[in-house]
Amino acid sequence: MKLPFAVCIFVTALFAVEGTLAQTPTPGLQSRLTFQDNTQDPTKKVHKDYSGQPCLKYEGVARSHTLNPNLYDHVVSTLNKCPTKIKVKLCYPNSDNCVDAEIPAYGRKDLVLGVQPKMKSFRYIASEKF
């Protein structure tokens, strides 16, 4: 039985890809983080568009369940702004709990990384496959 997500809460989702985090305030009940490219580290590879910007943008949010408000889904929303599909692997840091996904060209995909009780904030690591 699937339950709808009815309540969004404040969350600070941290992720480590290649670069730094920049928090952008948004109206409503969630905190969004956007990715800023850091090209100084040549060991990390990311897909880039024609202007040299990263193709994928990530947003992390914790959504509480309707029946049990102390249980949270850790959802990472990925937006692809390039004309090719990109394979992504999302993981909790220092964990084998990972989600593999293929983000369609010019598309968006919401990925549930995990479900945790009373954990409103979470961290994740995103790596792109070539």
Long-range contacts of 5-9 (CB under 8 A, 24+ apart): 5/63, 5/65, 5/66, 5/73, 6/66, 7/63, 7/64, 7/66, 7/69, 8/61, 8/63, 8/64, 9/62, 9/63, 9/64, 9/72, 9/120
Amino acid identity, position 32 = R
> Residue 111's pLDDT band (boundaries 50, 70, 90)?
very high
DSSP strands (E only) in 1-130:
7-8, 13-16, 19-24, 32-37, 56-64, 71-80, 86-91, 98-103, 108-117, 122-129
The confidence score (pLDDT) of residue 116 equals 92
pLDDT above 90 covers what percent of the chain?
59
For residue range 1-45, list pLDDT tens digits in order: 443 433 333 333 443 443 333 333 334 334 333 333 333 445 678
Amino acid 42: pLDDT: 55
